[in-house]
Copies of this chain bind each other. A is one copy, B any other.
């Protein structure tokens, strides 16, 4: 059974300081600390492409994973909506070449936003099992700095750049599933690129997440025949401090198990959940973890991860 073997990440060193910037947007520091939650927003270098962030995350993954060699990689997915160039060819092909991965790899990009990691785990796991592959890498790399209008406070103070890489294979540390997904294209206009710029109706996105995510998590718990008290950690997409807080309040008694870690990265789109896993889950005593991603589309997905005790 294919599952998660390891997670690594690349976060650009350079970061914007939101507390220094907030006044220019006509907002108080409380807007940063209580609503958005992001003190720093990492920013890739202008010369770095999406594929470069992916390459750095994969290099760290391989370095951190004993027995994992480039030559053994046979599948690569990149979750992004801001890949290299103009969409053709796919960024995963460019990464194959930059890293010198075997030409026998299956590689494709998945277009999803903040729900992308939860989907991506099941896409890669299922694809590998269906095609008989052994060592896959799931990359998240969606640098919104490429499309952010620096004068738009809805987005310019919120999104940070990051990339992650997750190794999937047999004898995993964590088993994946079950999962529940959803899609509501009525949210199409709430978060979209237009004229090469991201536009966001923050209120509409918040209301969608506040309304749909907790019921989706509860439905998944029911499907997995679990109470929230049996879950060790909830790693939900760090959309903003306020949305994580609002969703956690729907789980009385488990509220403190919702991990909050947006301060030094901001909303990193599909990278936020694997960043939480890398930092707070992999080396921990957790045995059952809920992951839940939600955003652009609208699109959402929730899954259970269970530590492999074999």
List residues of chain A with CB under 8 Å of any chain B CB: 76, 81-83, 85-98, 101, 103-113, 116, 119, 122-123, 125-132, 147, 176-188, 191-194, 196, 198, 296-299, 301
Contacts and interface: CB of A to CB of B under 8 A. Distances in A.
Given A81-B90, A97-B184, A104-B182, A125 B130 contact: yes
Contacts of A132: 178
A74 to B, nearest CB: 8
A4 to B, nearest CB: 13
Given A188-B97, A298-B93, A105 B183 contact: yes
B87 A184 contact: no
6 contacts: A88-B113, A95-B185, A96-B183, A97-B185, A103-B184, A106-B183
A125 B126 contact: yes
A57 to B, nearest CB: 17
A297 B111 contact: no
B130 A182 contact: no
Q: Which of A89, A110, A299 has most chain B Cβ within 10 Å? A: A89
Q: Which of A82, A96, A111, A299 has most chain B Cβ within 10 Å? A: A111
B111 A90 contact: yes
Interface residues of A, dominant DSSP = mixed
B111 A183 contact: no
Contacts of A108: 110-112, 116, 119, 123, 299
Nearest to A179: B131
Contacts of A183: 76, 92-93, 96, 101, 103, 105-107
A282 B286 CA distance: 50
Q: Which of A88, A101, A109 has most chain B Cβ within 10 Å? A: A88
Contacts of A98: 185
A194 B85 contact: yes
B113 A110 contact: no
B111 A109 contact: yes
B192 A96 contact: no
